[in-house]
Structure 1
Amino acid sequence: MTDFEIIFVERQREIQKHLEFIKELQWSVINRSGGKPIDMEHVNILKSAFLVHLYNVIESVMSKTIEEIDGKAKKHPPSEWASEFFQSWLLHRAILVFDNEPSKRIEKIVKVIGEASGRELVSSARVAKRSSGNWSNKEISDLAAKLTCDLRISPDIDRKACIVFLIDNKVPMTYVRHMRNQLAHGNLSFVDAAAHLTVDQLELLCSTVLDYMNEVVSSFVSYIEGKKYLKVTA
C-alpha cells in the first residue's frame, strides 16, 4: 500500500468523524433542554472548519503523491526515465533555477546539467511544487498530464465533482478550494462562511469529493505500480 493510499484512508475516517460531530451538535442545539449553552454559531464554526478539513484531504493526498513519485523515480538515472517524465522534470527544474537570484543561476544550471547527464545523483525528481491552497480537479489533471498518468475518472463521478455546479455556481472540487482559501486568508469568518449550508449539502459535497479522490488515488497507484515514469523496455 502506498503512503498516499494510507493517508487517504486516514483522512477519510477523520472527515467522517468531523461530519458526525456536526450532526450530533446540531441535533443537540435543536433538541437541548438545559445543560451547557450551545448555539448555532458553534455549529456554523464547525461547518466552516469542515470545508477547510475537506480541502486538507485533497492537498495532503496530492502532496504525498508527488513525494512518493519523486522517491521512486530518483532511484533511477534520468536516462531510464520516460521521455515525457524527463521533459516535465527538466522544465520544472528550469523554472526553479530562474526563481533564484541571478548570481546563483549559473551554478544551479550546471547542477541540473550534471544530474540530467548522469554525472551527479538526482537530488529531486519532482515535476511540480507542493502547491498549498491550489488543488482542484484542474491542477490534478495537469499533474497527471505532466506525468502521462492515465487519470481514470468514471463519467458519473467526473460529472458530479467537476462539471455540475453544486453550490454558489461552483463545482464541488473548485468550491472546496475556494472556501478553504477564503477562510485561510481571512476573507470570510468561520461563523458566517458555511452558515447557509445544510448538513445534507455537506454530506453530498463530502461524498462527491471523496469519490473523485478515490479514483485519483487509484490512478496514481496504477502509475507507480506500473513504473510508468520509466521507459518501456523491450
Structure 2
Amino acid sequence: MTDNLLEMQYSKRLNEIKTMMDFIDRMLLLPRLTPTFQMSLNIQKSSTALLIYNLMESTVSTSFTNILDSIVDNNVSYADVSDPFQEIWLDLNFMDTFDVSSSFTSYRNRTQQIITKILNNKSTNFLSFSNSVTQWQLPGGNIDAEQINKLCKSFGISFKVPIEISRDAGVLKTIKDKRNQLGHGDYSFDEIGRSITVEDLRSWTNEVDEYLKCLISAITVFIDNRKYCLFPENLITQQKSN
C-alpha cells in the first residue's frame, strides 16, 4: 500500500471516530428520560472505543506492510537487506514446514530451495513477502505502545514520541484492554460504556491521533531513506541515476 492510500485509510477511520463523537454530542443534548437512553449512550461510547482501537491496529499493520512493499517494489535482494528483513524472509519461506507431520526431508528440501534463491543471480534473488503471514504481524487485539515499540526495534526503526504528545502512551493499553474485554465477552457494551466518559473519548482520540502520526512519520522516513538496506545510499544513488 502506498503512503497516499495509507493517508486515505487513516483519514477515513479518523473521520468515523469524529462522526461517532458528533453523534454522541447530539445525544447528550436530548432529555434523558429512560434507562434505555442511557444504555444506548453507553453502547455508543463502547463502539467509539472500538473504532479508536481499529484505527490503531489498521495503521500499525499497514505502516509496517508498506516497508515490506517498498523492499519488493525496489527489487532488493536478500544480500542487500538488513538482518531483521532477512529473518522475516527466512521465517516466511519456512512457514509451510511448521507442521507436526513435517519430516527431516521437508526441512532439508526447503533449506536447499532457500539457499538456491539466495545464491541465484536472476530475478528470483529479489525478495517477496506477498500473500503471507510473517512473524511481525500480531494477532488481533494486541496493539499497544509496548508492542509498537517492539516492532520498531525488531525492524530497526528509530521511534520516540515527544513527552508533550504522550508521556508513556498508557492510553493505547487502556483502549486495547477495553477492546479485548468487549471482544472476549467479559463485559457487555453497556457495562464498558459506563466506565467511559465522553471526555475520555475525546482525550483518547487526540492522543492516539498524535501518537500514530508520529509513528507514520518515523516509518515514512525509514522507507524514504531505504533504511531496510545494508547500504541504503547505494540503492538511492542507483534509483536517481535511472
TM bucket (normalised to shorter chain) is 0.7 to 0.9
Alignment of 1:27-38 (within 5 A): 27-30=29-32
Aligned equivalents of 1:16, 1:117: Cα separation in 2: 52
Q: What secondary structure is seen at the aligned counterpart in 2 of 1:191?
A: helix
Tell me what 1:193 maps to.
192
Compute the displacement of 1:17 (Å): 1.0
Aligned equivalents of 2:54, 2:205: Cα separation in 1: 12
Moved over 4 A (4+): none
Question: Could you tell me which of 13, 20, 23 is aligned with 2:22?
Answer: 20
Tell me what 2:213 maps to.
214
Alignment of 1:3-18 (within 5 A): 3-18=5-20
Structure 1 gaps of 5+ residues are 163-170
Aligned equivalents of 1:100, 1:4: Cα separation in 2: 35
Tell me what 1:166 maps to.
none
Do the aligned residues in 2 keep the contact of 1:80 with 1:230 (CA within 8 Å)?
Answer: yes
Compute the displacement of 1:227 (Å): 1.1
Equivalent residue letter for 1:70: L
Alignment of 1:135-214 (within 5 A): 135-159=143-167, 161-162=168-169, 171-214=170-213
Matched, 1:43 2:48: no
Give the direction of change, closer, same or farther, for the CA distance of 1:29–1:97 in structure 2 (3 Å limit).
farther
Aligned equivalents of 1:102, 1:113: Cα separation in 2: 23
Task: Give TM-score scaled by structure 1 length.
Answer: 0.82
Compute the displacement of 1:38 (Å): 6.0
Aligned equivalents of 1:4, 1:206: Cα separation in 2: 18
Tell me what 2:129 maps to.
124
Question: Could you tell me which of 68, 71, 74 is aligned with 2:69?
Answer: 71
Give the direction of change, closer, same or farther, for the CA distance of 1:155–1:95 in structure 2 (3 Å limit).
farther
Two-structure CA RMSD over aligned residues (Å): 2.7
Q: Residues 10-66 of structure 1: CA distance to partner in whole angstroms, max 9, x if unpaired?
A: 211111111111111122244x8xxx9961111100111111111000111111122
Aligned equivalents of 2:138, 2:172: Cα separation in 1: 18
Aligned equivalents of 2:146, 2:117: Cα separation in 1: 30
